[in-house]
Amino acid sequence: MTQKGKLYLIPTVLSADALFSLPPYITDTVRQLRIFFVENERTARRFLKALDRAIDIDSLQLHLMNEHHPPDTALAKKLLQEGHSIGVISEAGCPAVADPGNLVVQAAHQVLATVIPMVGPNSMLLALMASGMNGQNFQFTGYLPVKPPDRAKAIKDLEALSAKKQQTQLFIEAPYRNNQLLKDILQHAADRTLLCVAADLTAPNEFIRTQTVAQWKKDTTDFHKRPAIFLLYAG
């Protein structure tokens, strides 16, 4: 009976300058793999070359998995059952956590293949650690609605939930809309509510600041096109 392949969940950097944030065993693992499911082929190629320039990129199988191109889970199952190990790489941070990859993980579990999560940077945990907010009880919501009335309601609902449960609320936005999201939070959240903005995590220009909404109203920091995560606490 053929031994099943393993599925490796491979973290990548949050910033191009931050290869130091990845433990060496990730490079050792990547060198042994020939099949990857990736969120973005160009980003994956650049990442793999940065890990080890000796990797023959053209010899690898890179299969897409993103919101526009669902992963071929039947292929993933077939490869694992045939004994081929697979790596999963998202565009930034940890795969399958606020990033694609969970469907490939589900496929691996369905054929009883071993799934191996690997240690690496995760923006949610780094921001939560540095925020000073409740790390015992927290919720990640992803993207808030774009339409102003829906977004206003979402902000107020998250603030109320935070107050009721003493729960830290985490959410994100497309980087080019960060300033608008910040403006909306300051408009709809109470002055005493705490807000943390963590931008460019692990990069040389990393920024993490927690202060009240009232204090943020006097802050002029520009977050336009800076990868960021927002944390709200009204407990």
pLDDT tens profile 124-162: 999 999 999 999 999 999 999 999 999 999 999 999 999
Give domain 6-117's CATH architecture.
Answer: 3-Layer(aba) Sandwich (3.40)
N- to C-terminal Cα distance for the chain? 56
Q: How confident is the model at residue 2 (pLDDT cuts 50, 70, 90)?
A: confident
Cα 153 to the chain's mean position, in Å? 25
pLDDT tens profile 11-51: 999 998 899 999 999 999 999 999 999 999 999 999 999 99
pLDDT number for residue 146: 94
pLDDT number for residue 60: 96
Whether the pTM exceeds 0.85: the reply is yes
Is the pLDDT at 1 greater than 80, yes or no?
no
Closest CA to 82 of 12, 34, 138, 41: 34
CB 177 within 8 A of CB 148: no
Question: Measuring CA to CA, how many Å separate 153 from each of 49, 57, 147, 188?
Answer: 44, 47, 10, 9
CB 63 within 8 A of CB 35: yes
Separation between Cα atoms, residue 157 and residue 139, nearest integer Å: 13
pLDDT number for residue 204: 95
Separation between Cα atoms, residue 201 and residue 218, nearest integer Å: 23
What is the domain partition of the chain in residue ranges? 6-117, 123-233
CATH superfamily placement of domain 123-233: Tetrapyrrole methylase, C-terminal domain (3.30.950.10)
Separation between Cα atoms, residue 87 and residue 180, nearest integer Å: 36
CA 92-98-104 angle, to 5 degrees, is 90
pLDDT tens profile 54-82: 999 999 999 999 888 999 999 999 999 99
Residues contacting residue 213 through CB under 8 Å, at least 6 positions apart: 185, 186, 189, 190, 191, 192, 193, 194, 195
